[in-house]
Chain A
Amino acid sequence: MKSIVTVCLSAVALVFFTGCRTDYDIEEVAPAEFLESSGGGEHVHEEFAAAEDSSTVDEHMEESHAGHVHDAGARNHGTQWFFNQPWAAPFIWGKLLRDAVIFLLLAVAVFVVSGRRKRK
C-alpha cells in the first residue's frame, strides 16, 4: 500500500513539476516569433517551394535546414528538428537534463523505500 502511495505521490509531483506541458512538442515549445514566421505550425517547406523547379527533395533536405516545421507533435522525421532549429536544440537539452535528474531522484527514492520495507 505504501509503495502505491509513493508511486502516486511521485507521479503527482512530476506532473506539477513539469506544469503538465507537453514540453517535447515543437508546437508548444517553439518561440512565438518562429511560429508566426513559419505559418503557425503548418507543414511548411519554405525553401523547398522556392527551389521546386530546380532541385530534388534530397538537395532540399541537405541545403535548407531552417524553416522546416511539422505539425504540432508530428515528428515524422524522428529527432531531426532538434538539429535543424537553432533555438530548439538547447531548449530540448534542458528538458532532457531536467527529466534525467527527476528520474534519477525517483530511482534513488524507490531504491531506498523498497530497501526499508524489505528490512522491516
Chain B
Amino acid sequence: MTDMHPIQVTELSKQFPRKKRLGSVHAVSDISFNVKHGEIVGFIGHNGAGKTTTIKCILGLLKPSEGSISLWGKAPADSRVRKRLGYVPENPDYDNSFTPMEYMNMFASMRGLAGTQNDWKKLLGRVGLARWETTGIKQFSKGMKQRMSLAIALQSNPDLLVLDEPTGGLDPIARKEFREIILEENARGASVFLSSHILSDVETICHRAVILAGGRLVAENSMEKLLGEENLYRITVISRKDGKEVEEVIPEADLQTRIDSLRRDNIRIVRVEAAIKSLEEVFLTATGGGESQ
C-alpha cells in the first residue's frame, strides 16, 4: 500500500540545463521519501539544497528528470489529486487589484467549493486577517500575503497541505499561530509536508524530518530517532587543573555511578541537567556543518 501514501517520491532527480557547454545543474539527485497519512513531515535543508525544486516537482510545476512522484498513487497533474491539496508557496504574491475576499471567492469558485462569504470571513479571521477582508492586496506586507495564502490553502479542508517556507516573513507571534493552525489541521486528519528554514518550528510540530544537503537526501527519520531516543544528561564540574568548568554528557543509566565516582574523587559538581540534542545540531551534523554542496 506504499503507493497510496499522500506523497511518494521515488528516486527523484531534477536537472536544469545551463547555457551551451556548461552542462546542467543537478538541483536534486536520487531522493526517495514519503509522507504517510496523518503525518507532519519537516523538509529541511540549507539554501539551494533543492527543497523548493522537490516541492515544485510534487505539485507538477516541474517535470522530474528521473524518478517518479505520486500523490495517493496518482500523478500530480491528476485533477482528483489536486482537489485534495492545499499549497502555500514560498513568498506568495497575488494580483494587487483584488482584495482577500475577492480572491477567496474566486479560488472557491475555481475549485468548485460550496462555502459562503461568511465561511471565508471566518477563515480569514482564523489566519489573522479579520480586519483586512476588503483591503486591497497592494497594501499587504509579505507576512499578510502569507496569511492569505494559508487561508486559500485551507479553503477546501485539504487532505494534504504542502507548505513551502510558510513562516519565513512572520513575526514570532504569527509563527506560533501558524504552528497552531498546522497542528489543528493535522488533528482534523490532514497530512502536512512542511519545508522550513526555521528548525525550531520543524522540531516543535513535525513527526518526522527529511534533511537535504546539496540536492541529496542525507537523513530521514522520526523526530525521536533524529534527536536521540536515549535520555542523556550533561554534568558540569570544576576542573582541578585550571579551575574552569568542564562538561560531560552521559546516558541516564550511568548517571548515578558517575556522580558517585566524582564525589569520591572530591570533584566539585556545578550542575546536572538533561542534555537535549537540538534539531539544529542534528542538521549541522547531517549536512556537514551546513556547507553548501
Could you tell me which A residues sit within 8 Å of B by CB distance? 118-119
Contacts and interface: CB of A to CB of B under 8 A. Distances in A.
B75 interface: yes
Interface of B is mostly: loop
A20 B75 CA distance: 43
A43 to B, nearest CB: 52
Contacts of A119: 75, 77
3 contacts: A118-B77, A119-B75, A119-B77
A105 to B, nearest CB: 25
A66 to B, nearest CB: 56
A113 to B, nearest CB: 15
Interface of A is mostly: helix
Nearest to B78: A119
Interface residues of B, number: 2
Interface of B: 75, 77
B17 to A, nearest CB: 15
A37 to B, nearest CB: 61
Nearest to A120: B75
The 3 closest A-B CB pairs, nearest first, are A119-B77, A119-B75, A118-B77
A119 B60 CA distance: 10
Contacts of B75: 119
Contacts of B77: 118-119
A114 B77 CA distance: 13
A118 B76 CA distance: 10
Nearest to A118: B77
A116 to B, nearest CB: 11
A119 to B, nearest CB: 6
A118 B75 CA distance: 10
A111 to B, nearest CB: 15
A42 to B, nearest CB: 54
A118 B77 CA distance: 8
Nearest to A115: B77
A119 B78 CA distance: 8
A76 to B, nearest CB: 45
A102 to B, nearest CB: 29
A118 B64 CA distance: 11
B241 to A, nearest CB: 69
B64 to A, nearest CB: 11
Nearest to B60: A118
Nearest to B75: A119
